Amino acid sequence: MMDKTVKSFLAAVLVFLYLPIAVMIVMAFNRSSLYELPFTFDLVWFKALLSNDRLMQASWNSVWIATVNAVKAELQSINNGPARLLRNDNANQNDLLRVKTVGTRSNRDGIGAKVVVKTSKGRTLYAMVRTGSSYVSQSELPLTFGLGKPEEGITLTLEITWPGNQKETVANIKVNQLVIVQEGKGATTQEPIVFAR
């Protein structure tokens, strides 16, 4: 239990750190170029920012770099060995299917559901929805099935065994789709996956 002196000190530190930021945010809406009162609310500085092409380009570059770095950090995984960075731009343009399970009777994310994908050409693929599957990393909940080189007229059938052993079949699925399957209701959503060419 912290005593009042420690709490007062921590409160003073927080005020010292965050009060100047709060004042700057409020004063950003002031028409004057100086921090002065009376305060006149205006968006003149934001309009000036939006009309400056160099500042907008610099802002866009900052957002782009932050996004790329965040994605790289997200994709970096440690798989019982050295750190690896995984990147897939689908340069080979192979077909695929993504399946997201939504549990109703079982758990919300369908963790533990076994999914079998059967193609109309006789190929069978298996996967199970899991959370963590290795050291210091998290498996993505939607399953991704690689289907190989594109073929005309191919259709897919999903066979799902939910954690409570309820079985469900969803037929006539097209390739290159994100399919959301809700337990007991079948495919509730099918969205095409568009690749950059």
Average pLDDT over the chain reads: 82
Mean pLDDT of 5-9: 87
What pLDDT, on a 0 to 100 scale, did the predictor assign at position 157?
A: 94
Is pLDDT above 90 for 124? yes
Q: pLDDT band for 149, please (50, 70, 90 cuts).
A: confident
pLDDT in tens, 173-183: 999 899 999 99
| Max avg pLDDT among 36-40, 53-57, 62-66, 120-124 | 120-124
Is pLDDT above 70 for 137? no
Mean pLDDT of 155-163: 93
Please report how the helices 53-75 and 44-51 are oriented relative to each other, as an axis angle in degrees rounded to 10.
80
Spans of all domains in the chain: 4-80, 95-192
Tokens of 189: 């959503």
pLDDT in tens, 65-123: 878 777 766 665 444 556 666 666 656 678 889 999 999 888 888 999 999 999 988 88
CATH 2.60.40 fits 95-192, yes or no: yes
Structural contact between residues 173 and 97, judged by C-beta atoms closer than 8 angstroms: yes
At 185, the amino acid letter reads: K
